[in-house]
């Protein structure tokens, strides 16, 4: 498919076409076993979701690197599969206990890339993302490592993940001074409950021509009908982690949200995903499905945008920070 179809768009200012839904793999290994993961990957790819996001440390419930190994086995099953997929992974989080087994020093970045390539059974990574900022390493060192990997043909584009707005700006200005392309994207936590990226991160991404990839669009399942699932005893993701800790603070809003979804006649996960896909500057929603039906629901969200009335009601339930919009106007009187 070309970047011009309704399921695809360009990654920021680059020429790379990516699907507006990105298959996140953080659940693979421990929550989604390998046979189910393969079915999910096949199902998504057959329906045009050709953007796959992972990280070198994913699969830690089994062992760090397991998810990349799983993807490598899947990619290796078909000679044409690698060419059909836009593959993203990440570097920076600890992979071992040694002093150079984490972070963004040149030694770790280059060694970690080689290790990811081996696990993924591929010659190149389409989008190599820094999993988080590393204030202890100068940008010149980071960019020299990324330039080396690009020149070697091991990576095509560089991305950021969990950066601040000023972090994106400092990274880009350092890259510009070197005559390097720098970042293609930023991946951030963003959903109806977490609207802080609207203040600085998304405006910085738009200003620098970066694609914005959004992780946890359902806030760990809290926006996926959590209250009804908990009442019915069917909650899985929404009974754990981020969703569980946020539920106490947001129970009233989540209850009203589920009522709104009932009124509109669409599942909560669809509405939350459709909302994130409607947001200015958002390139792709990184979904974390556990079943093919979850993928299909996200595709319905993409195919059926929300109308203005529903968007306004969602703003009332989950108001933006301050007066809304970018900083500093969001909080200036």
The domain spans of the chain are 8-221+268-311
How deeply is 127 buried, as exposed, middle or buried, from its count of CB atoms within 10 A (0-12, 13-18, 19+)?
Answer: buried
Contact in structure between 151 and 111 (CB atoms under 8 Å): no
DSSP string, 48-93: T--EEE--TTTTTTT-TTHHHHHHHHHHTT-TTHHHH-EEEEEE-S
In whole angstroms, what is the distance from residue 279 CA to residue 283 CA? 9
Lowest-pLDDT choice from 3-7, 237-241, 290-294, 306-310: 237-241
Of 272, 246, 248, 244, whose CA–CA distance to 258 is shortest? 272
The second-level CATH assignment, the architecture, of 8-221+268-311 is: Alpha-Beta Barrel (3.20)
Task: Give tens-digit pLDDT for 265-305.
Answer: 999 999 999 999 999 999 999 999 999 999 999 999 999 99
Lowest-pLDDT choice from 50-54, 146-150, 207-211, 249-253: 249-253
pTM of the model: 0.95
pLDDT score at 79:
86
Task: Give tens-digit pLDDT for 161-209.
Answer: 999 999 999 999 999 999 999 999 999 999 999 999 999 999 999 999 9
| Residue of 58, 128, 157, 208 marked active site | 58
Mean pLDDT calculated for residue range 21-25: 98
- Beta strand 155-161 with 282-287 is unpaired
What percent of the chain shows pLDDT beyond 90?
90
CA dihedral 15→17→21→26, nearest 10 degrees, is: -80
Q: Which tops the pLDDT comparison, 298 or 2? A: 298
**Annotation marks residue 208 as catalytic:** no
């Amino acid at each position: 498919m070309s970047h011009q179809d309704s399921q695809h768009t360009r990654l920021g200012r680059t020429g790379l076409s990516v699907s507006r839904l990105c298959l996140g793999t953080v659940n693979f290994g421990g929550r989604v076993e390998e046979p189910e993961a393969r079915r999910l990957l096949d199902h998504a790819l057959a329906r045009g979701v050709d953007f796959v996001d992972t990280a070198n440390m994913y699969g830690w419930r089994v062992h760090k690197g397991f998810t990349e190994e799983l993807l490598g086995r899947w990619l290796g099953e078909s000679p044409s599969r690698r060419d059909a997929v836009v593959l993203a992974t990440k570097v920076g989080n600890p992979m071992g206990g040694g002093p150079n087994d984490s972070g963004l020093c040149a030694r770790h970045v280059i060694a970690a890339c080689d290790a990811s390539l081996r696990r993924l059974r591929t010659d190149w990574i389409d989008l190599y993302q820094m999993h988080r900022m590393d204030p202890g390493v100068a940008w010149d060192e980071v960019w020299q490592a990324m330039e080396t990997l690009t020149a070697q043909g091991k990576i095509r584009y560089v991305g950021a993940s969990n950066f601040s707005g000023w972090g994106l700006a400092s990274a880009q200005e350092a890259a510009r001074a070197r005559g390097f392309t720098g970042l293609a994207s930023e991946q951030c936590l963003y959903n109806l409950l977490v609207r802080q990226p609207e203040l600085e991160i998304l405006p910085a991404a738009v200003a620098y021509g970066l694609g914005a990839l959004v992780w946890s669009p359902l806030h760990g399942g809290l926006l996926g009908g959590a209250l009804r699932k908990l009442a019915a005893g069917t909650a899985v993701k929404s009974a754990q982690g981020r969703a569980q800790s946020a539920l106490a603070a947001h129970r009233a809003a989540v209850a009203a949200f589920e009522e709104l979804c009932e009124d509109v006649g669409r599942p909560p996960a669809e509405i939350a995903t459709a909302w994130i896909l409607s947001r200015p500057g958002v390139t792709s929603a990184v979904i974390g499905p556990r079943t093919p039906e979850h993928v299909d629901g996200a595709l319905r969200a993409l195919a059926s945008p929300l109308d203005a009335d529903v968007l306004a009601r969602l703003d009332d339930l989950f108001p933006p920070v301050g007066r809304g919009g970018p900083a500093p106007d969001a909080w200036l009187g």
